[in-house]
Structure 1
Amino acid sequence: MVCKRFSIVDLLVLALCMIFAATFFFLISWIRFSPNSTPLPNTDLEIISRDELEIALENAAMAGSKNLFIAFINRAYVEPHENEYPSMLDLFLEGFWEGEGTRQLLDHLLVVAMDKAAHERCEYRRLNCYMLDGDGDGDGDGDDFAGEKIYMTGDFIEMMWIRTSFLLNVLKKGYNFIFTDTDVLWLRNPLTRLSMNETFDLQISADSFNGNSSSELNHINTGFYYVRSNKRTISLFETWYDMRNNSTGMKEQDVLEQLVSRGILDELDVTPRFLDTLYFSGFCSDSQNVNMVVTVHANCCRTIGAKMVDLKAVLRDWEGFKNNRISDDGFSFRWTNHSSCINSWVQ
């Protein structure tokens, strides 16, 4: 048997290669696991370390920013009311399709489902979906809030607080968002009427607008608002949510309005902007110019059935306007009376 002899040069080269390889693997390990280092992109470790909510938020967020839109649904909002289509979710999505400059916004909408049926319908629609169970812990094992929750009942109030808790969590993760109720029709892109810089911490819709966007006397509506994630807004949402056990019989909107009236915004240095109903309108206060309207909210309404009847009328009015733009000033246009919602309070 002949043994090959290695020269000193060969041995030195082999030793240097081994040292280089050991150094390389050490650096890779240090970069990946050091607490002060930037994680490597697109690694399995990175995906495992993030929870499902972070992944859902990232998927929905606009490119290069941490801005997105959030809406909640339950079974009552995805199934036909009294066995008649469309569902409330159908109407909500139709608003994006029929609106001007709104279709592409669906890519950045995160739909939070409160029960399995709602989540399945969301996925069927190929939206950005996140499953939240009735306890609000995101494990997807409950259907506590699947049915219709009549306005101001105990279940309705509890569902609103679960929603507030979830949105607080989103703020803590550093995301800015427009929250929208599913009974809000987006007829134009709201980003064209909102300030997207850091001037305002909270831009919130109103049931009625007194003409002053800084006035805390405006009657707020938590069905549509844009909030930036920062220490001030996180403190506001924490204070708001902590009030739930001391506000029996009050919905979360009334609690926030009470806090605002007591000076919580000044106390926490939160800069608000109250949105003009000319642009961000609702059944409580119609927009007076269809050329300016951005959203229409089925507020001041008690039941899903009534909301759906009157929202269908809004879409018909909108289609009629688009097909017959009679007046450039928009003031000759008239919305159909919201009769079903008005009558919902006397039933």
Structure 2
Amino acid sequence: MSIQSIEKRKTPIFHYGITIFLAAVLFVSVFSPDSKIPLDRLRRDWLGAKGPDTTTEEMEKLCTKNLVPPQGPQPQESHDDNFATMIRKAATDDKRVILTEVNEAFAAPNSMLDLFLESFHNGEDNITHLLDHLIIVAMDQKAFEKCKSVHHYCYLHEDLGSDLSSENLFMSKPYIDLVWTKVTLWQLILEQGYSFLFTDVDVMWFRDPFRHISVYADLTIATDRFFVNPEDHGNNPNTGMVYAKPTKKNIEVLKYWLEARQRFPTTNEQTVYDQIKYELASKFDLKVQYVSTEYWGNFCQLHKDFTKLSTFHPCCLIGLKMKIAQIKNMTEEWKMYKQSINLKS
């Protein structure tokens, strides 16, 4: 046999060896306990959780373990304003509700509530149907009356300790009382066996934000500033947009979060979450997805790529008038973007 023929036989064996070696290295790096690329992360990225829709029947089946079963009507429920009854009426077929809060100042004519509802009608992909699953929680009687005149699922939050009807200064006691009420409501929704997507009423909706929610995360939270990795607790959270599944773990997480207010009595729920997020991750093995500001946008880390934005939150602006003015500007830019797309098509 010639030397040339021997070399020809050696070459493919060498190539096979290299291929097997590289495959083994990849397997160890992915599946080892110390891997920096967890399997859940690979699955999520493969299924497109960073941008495209992820809510498919196949994916939901993978993440229905440990869910709290939906609760049926209770004997004490006697009127339509009961919050549990409203949750069941507003929920989607897959047991999800959208929730926001509003007070008199934010419900006044041409204020945030009007702009918020209008954004659904200006949005893409016919997102107006999402309003059928929106519950608006009113913090005072006037906000409740305004809500009932423009929407069908309105709930008056009673037994509030502070006057929450006016525009409250950032970090004032009424402001802190107002923002903490939402965590209590989140817990009630989860205990009823339903998922929720909470949105501040000053968040404008351009597209369906559910497309950016990973079914593998326990919580999905917006960010003031996003730093590349959606699982990194180093991201700056913003609780103006929060999604949670109805698991026993999440219920315990919210209880722990509420109890942590006693340690930080003069601050809001977002700052407290930022203080305890590593505790939550360690104590409950909590998996959190932080959404990029490219998709859930804001003024803290401004992106104006309308091909990507699903929502926009005027955080990092102070004062109701300033927020309304900037939201109106952003809305006009969005409308011009839609017109330009229509002209091209």
Query: Shorter-normalised TM-score: what interval?
Result: 0.7 to 0.9
Alpha-carbon deviations, 1:148-193, whole Å to 9, x = none?
Answer: 1111111101111122222222222221100000010010011222
Match of 2:151 among 115, 121, 126: 126
Greater share of helix residues, 1 or 2? Answer: 2
- 1:272: which partner in 2? 288
- 1:20: which partner in 2? none
1:77 maps to 2:106: yes
- 2:133: which partner in 1? 108
> Where do residues 183-198 of structure 1 align in structure 2 (5 Å cutoff)?
183-195=202-214, 197=215
8 Å contact 1:133–1:144 — kept in the other structure? no
- 1:222: which partner in 2? 239
- 2:114: which partner in 1? 90
- When residues 268 and 327 of structure 1 are mapped into structure 2, their CA distance, relative to the original with a 3 A threshold, is farther
- 2:228: which partner in 1? 211
1:164 maps to 2:180: no
8 Å contact 1:186–1:295 — kept in the other structure? yes
CA distance in 2, matches of 1:51, 1:201: 29
- 1:345: which partner in 2? none
8 Å contact 2:212–2:291 — kept in the other structure? no
8 Å contact 2:116–2:201 — kept in the other structure? yes
Alpha-carbon deviations, 1:35-65, whole Å to 9, x = none?
Answer: xxxxxx99x96964998111110111002x2
Structure 2: unaligned runs, 5 residues or longer:
1-71
| 1:327 Cα deviation after fit | 11
Runs (4+) of structure 1 exceeding 4 A deviation are 44-51
- When residues 93 and 51 of structure 1 are mapped into structure 2, their CA distance, relative to the original with a 3 A threshold, is closer
- Matched residue count: 272
- When residues 45 and 207 of structure 1 are mapped into structure 2, their CA distance, relative to the original with a 3 A threshold, is closer
Q: TM-score, normalised by structure 1?
A: 0.74
Match of 2:92 among 59, 62, 68: 62
RMSD: 2.3
CA distance in 2, matches of 1:49, 1:232: 31
CA distance in 1, matches of 2:237, 2:292: 11
Match of 2:254 among 237, 240, 250: 237
Match of 1:302 among 300, 318, 321: 318
The alignment partner of 1:325 has SS state of helix
- 2:21: which partner in 1? none
Match of 1:176 among 192, 195, 209: 195
CA distance in 2, matches of 1:51, 1:121: 15
- More moved, 87-96 vs 317-326: 317-326
The alignment partner of 2:131 has SS state of helix
- More moved, 176-185 vs 49-58: 49-58
Aligned-partner residue type, residue 275 of structure 1: V
- When residues 310 and 49 of structure 1 are mapped into structure 2, their CA distance, relative to the original with a 3 A threshold, is closer
| 1:265 Cα deviation after fit | 1.6
CA distance in 2, matches of 1:133, 1:45: 21
The alignment partner of 2:87 has SS state of helix
- When residues 133 and 212 of structure 1 are mapped into structure 2, their CA distance, relative to the original with a 3 A threshold, is same
- 2:123: which partner in 1? 99
Aligned-partner residue type, residue 79 of structure 1: A
The alignment partner of 1:267 has SS state of helix
Identity of aligned residues (%): 30
8 Å contact 1:70–1:179 — kept in the other structure? yes
Structure 1: unaligned runs, 5 residues or longer:
1-40, 81-85, 137-142, 329-347
Aligned-partner residue type, residue 116 of structure 2: F
Match of 1:292 among 294, 308, 311: 308
The alignment partner of 1:70 has SS state of strand
CA distance in 1, matches of 2:272, 2:254: 11
- 2:36: which partner in 1? none
8 Å contact 2:81–2:155 — kept in the other structure? no
| 1:249 Cα deviation after fit | 2.3
CA distance in 2, matches of 1:306, 1:219: 23
CA distance in 2, matches of 1:107, 1:299: 26
Task: Using CA pairs under 8 Å that are at least 6 residues apart, name the structure with larger relative contact order, 1 or 2.
Answer: 2
Q: TM-score, normalised by structure 2?
A: 0.74
Larger radius of gyration: 1
8 Å contact 1:67–1:176 — kept in the other structure? yes
CA distance in 1, matches of 2:279, 2:257: 13
